[in-house]
Amino acid sequence: MLSTESRPQLSGKHYFTSSPSTSPNQNLLPLTAKINEKDALEIGGCDVPQLVEQFGSPLYILDEVTLREACRQYRDSFRKYYPGESQVIYASKAWSCFGVCAVVASEDLGFDVVSGGELFTTLNALEQMGWSIADAAAKIYFHGNNKSVQELEYAIATGCTIIVDNWLELQNLVKLGANSPDKPIRIMLRLTPGIECHTHEYIRTGHLDSKFGFDPHQLEGVFTYVSQQPSLNCVGLHAHIGSQIFERQPHQDLGGVLVEWFEKGLTYGLPLTELNIGGGLGIRYTESDDPPSIKEWVKAAAQSVVKACEARQMALPKIIAEPGRSLIGTACITAYTIGSRKVVPEIRTYIAVDGGMSDNPRPITYQSQYRVALANKMSAPYQETVTVAGKHCESGDILIKETPLPETEAGDILVVMDTGAYNYSMASNYNRLPRPAAVFVNNGEANLFLQRETYVDLTRQDCLPTRLLK
């Protein structure tokens, strides 16, 4: 077991020893996090152990204040630093469900969707809020590198903007557009700008060796083709250079690259008015992570576009940004109940929780790191170093390797921080585990927005071939 003698003074309280940043993406915990008089972690005015008692575990706990503040900082920063029109759209692949869509929409953000399912979810959420299909579609941008014909038909029927990724998609859209020649399909073109950034290789999307977008050498041919298609209304260009990015320079470079191609597209007669600069701003998963604030990122990205346009004496296009992780990542924690314990002498101590890779596949997929605390013992000093194991039948189902904690016992509530992005959205039913519930917390109230799945839910789509029935 690793020694913790060099840090006996540490406890869950150390996450509160410095003033939290006003930029949500720079914190390990939601903005409303505090330790209450029972020495328990409190989020949104709600006692976390009590939430587990009420709703069960594992439990996603999403702080509405933090999510709304991140939305407002993006929206208001673009209005401050970009003289032209702007629209922030939420990359809903981070977490797509009715509740999250409703909060984001109420803050005047639009949506980036990457499948027919995400489009359906977003449209249904907005309809329940009283939006018309036309108003909803005006704020939805449909991405994807292999959209099916059925998905394209669905997107066309709604009237949302389609981000075209490749030649096959262009050709399919031209065929589909022939059915309604009087109503051109609103599209943007995704390009691969050839910009590298330091992030995990699986989430780099801006370099030339990428499955996404048209390469620069293809673009003039694409511009020529699109300009000859009356069924297509090409309103802009899009690029996205990756995820969990801490550097500002790549996005400053991106502005210049996009504006250069934007100007060239205009010479082909394309009615370009929008420039989508993607997203990718990182969040703080560990103490060593140091991402720029939302305001700093927006300022750098916006000013790069302004500078590039001024150099060419171009009118400013409408700028679109599509953050996901940095909007919702730090707004959520996951609470687990600790169960069994195994000590391997001189090697490691394992503690097991009632979830794991089915509710958080990022550690086993990306080797992602997280920070944890005992929600019911926030002031207890760290006394041991443990490895937090999930309950799945996989040796690799490890949530956190070698983390300091107080001495734990069965029934303690372990919280994993920064689980708002790609946790529920990538969750599975591996080993036939039901997916967890999720609650919004705000001003002392907890509201369920995702029900815990049941065993009946797990078998809902199961069926037996007729020949096996008696």
pLDDT at residue number 7: 46
Separation between Cα atoms, residue 221 and residue 388, nearest integer Å = 53
CATH 3.20.20.70 is the classification of domain 12-63+331-454:
no
Region for residue 356 given its phi and psi (left: phi exceeds 0; alpha: psi -120 to 50; beta: otherwise): left
Which pLDDT tens digit goes with each residue over 187-233?
A: 999 998 865 544 443 333 444 556 778 988 889 999 999 999 999 99
The Cα-based distances of 213 to 37, 110, 138, 209, 239 in angstroms read: 53, 22, 23, 10, 8
pLDDT at residue number 194: 65
The residues near 44 (Cβ < 8 Å, ≥ 6 apart) are 30, 32, 61, 63, 64, 65, 440, 441, 442, 443, 444, 445, 446
Choosing from 160, 197, 393, 463, which is the catalytic residue? Answer: 393
Residues of the chain with CATH 2.40.37.10: 12-63+331-454
List beta partners, residue 389.
Answer: 352, 398
Q: What are phi and psi of 257, to 5 degrees?
A: -65, -45
Region for residue 243 given its phi and psi (left: phi exceeds 0; alpha: psi -120 to 50; beta: otherwise): beta
pLDDT at residue number 196: 52
Give the strand pairing for 41-43 and 46-47. Answer: antiparallel
CATH 3.20.20.10 is the classification of domain 82-323:
yes
pLDDT at residue number 212: 78
User: For residue 103, which of 470, 456, 464, 447 has the smallest C-alpha distance?
Assistant: 447
The Cα-based distances of 40 to 29, 336, 466 in angstroms read: 14, 14, 54
Helix (H, G, I), strand (E, B) or coil at 4: coil
Separation between Cα atoms, residue 8 and residue 383, nearest integer Å = 7
| 393 classed as catalytic | yes
The residues of the chain scoring below 70 in pLDDT are: 1-9, 194-210
Answer yes or no: are the C-beta atoms of 387 and 403 closer than 8 Å: yes
Amino acid at site 331 = A
Answer yes or no: are the C-beta atoms of 416 and 370 closer than 8 Å: yes
Answer yes or no: are the C-beta atoms of 14 and 357 closer than 8 Å: no
Amino acid at site 355 = G
pLDDT at residue number 193: 81
Residues of the chain with CATH 3.20.20.10: 82-323
Separation between Cα atoms, residue 43 and residue 446, nearest integer Å = 10
Mean pLDDT across the chain:
92
Which pLDDT tens digit goes with each residue over 173-188?
A: 999 999 887 899 999 9
